[in-house]
Structure 1
């Protein structure tokens, strides 16, 4: 499995010819190294509706004629905008051609500004994505919460993708605890340095993981890692 980081919380995952993108905030993302028009995928997965995660969802889904996978209310909105969707919700899983998606809890919020009005977009979520024999966990935007221990006990997580920016999500110290609770073999930090108020030192975060026996991989936007 190949994971490519495109800045903020956007990642592209590839395995055996299948490609999915999670939280494709590219346009307006000062760290992004790819344009939405250049993304080729089989599905768009969303953790929640905030604009810095929803991003270029509609553009990518339309140009690839692919589904948007999201929590029910967010999927309903996407469907109203003329794209294919797969409605999901917390705790549910769905098998697609070449990959499986399961939605987990996340403690955050979820809304999108539509015609100048803030609209509720259902519960925020984390995503367990399995392709081949590998599983990654994208935590979305979340606080540290105790059920991460259960997620780690129930799933063999090869790589966890965790926010470290603080202010709006977990900070580095809480994310390091989350990594341990999730029993992740490898952790990729996200949701930092996009804007000044979430500036963090990702290398310092990976150093917090070393005593726990967890490999931290701080990717530059546009860089990839294999698992």
Structure 2
């Protein structure tokens, strides 16, 4: 599994021959990538805020993995999209997408689709992307990546995501103001017991300016064994090489 961060909450995840793009928003200071350079098989949308769906229109026709409300909004606003499962998915569900499996998990946030008229996109989400289908039987050779989405700290991370979905790597928002800040994000990393942690959703605009080194310090203070990787925009991390399979 290869993970590429394009700034903010935008990630490209490659699982075997399947390419996933999470929360496409390239109008941020961390990336120099033209979104049209990418040709994902699937778009994963955690929620409908503009800084998470800002470049959906660049990928018309790509299959969507999102809540039914967000799927409907994208169809109305941006073009012809086929949703995985026909009308999208919801919290707790797992879908097979090519060589990958995507489990939608809870995020504590808001989900207005267009603040000018107050439409709601249902409950916001995070995603756990894995190369094997999640079961109660632990698979030590599987690879999984947890994109927390925009979220506050909540105990489902500790009670469900960590013990049952067993992410190897996690991308946690650290910007504060709209999401967790560094110390809460560090607690979340400790709770899910990931091996690698990446800061996301920071430095895009003034209210969420952060020094990611503070996140590294807080992860250590939380007692987590996770290795914090502070990626530059457009940088790729090879999870398979890191964990050795």
TM-score range, shorter chain: over 0.9
Q: Of residues 115, 127, 135 in structure 1, which corresponds to 2:144?
A: 135
1:84 is aligned to 2:82: yes
RMSD over equivalenced CA pairs, Å = 1.4
Match of 1:113?
114
Instruction: Give 2:236's aligned residue.
Output: 224
Cα distance per residue 1:144-187 (max 9 Å; x no partner): 01111121011121101100000000000000000011111111
Deviations 1:29-77 (A, max 9, x none): 23322112111111000100000001111322x2xx3201101111122
Residue in structure 1 matched with residue 214 of structure 2 by the alignment: 204
Once the two structures are TM-superposed, the CA of residue 131 in structure 1 deviates from its matched residue by: 2.7
Partner of 1:75: 71
SS in 1 for 2:101: strand
8 A contact 2:2–2:15 mirrored in 1: yes
Match of 1:43 in 2: 42
Separation (CA, whole Å) in 1 of partners of 2:226 and 2:113: 35
Q: Does 1:213 align with 2:225?
A: yes
| Structure 2 portions without partners, runs of 5+ | 133-141, 240-245
Match of 1:9 in 2: 9
Moved over 3 A (4+): none
- What does residue 95 of structure 2 align with? 94
Question: What is the SS of the residue equivalent to 1:193?
Answer: coil
- Find the counterpart in structure 1 of residue 25 from structure 2: 25
Whole-angstrom CA distance in 1 between matches of 2:57 and 2:131: 24
- Whose strand proportion is higher, 1 or 2? 1
* Per-residue Cα deviation, 1:89-123 (whole angstroms, up to 9, x for no partner): 01111112111111111100112228x43321111
In the alignment, which residue of structure 1 is the partner of 2:177? 167
User: Is the 8 Å Cα contact of residues 193 and 224 (structure 2) preserved in structure 1?
Assistant: no
Q: Distance in 1 between matches of 2:176 and 2:208?
A: 6
Count of aligned pairs: 222
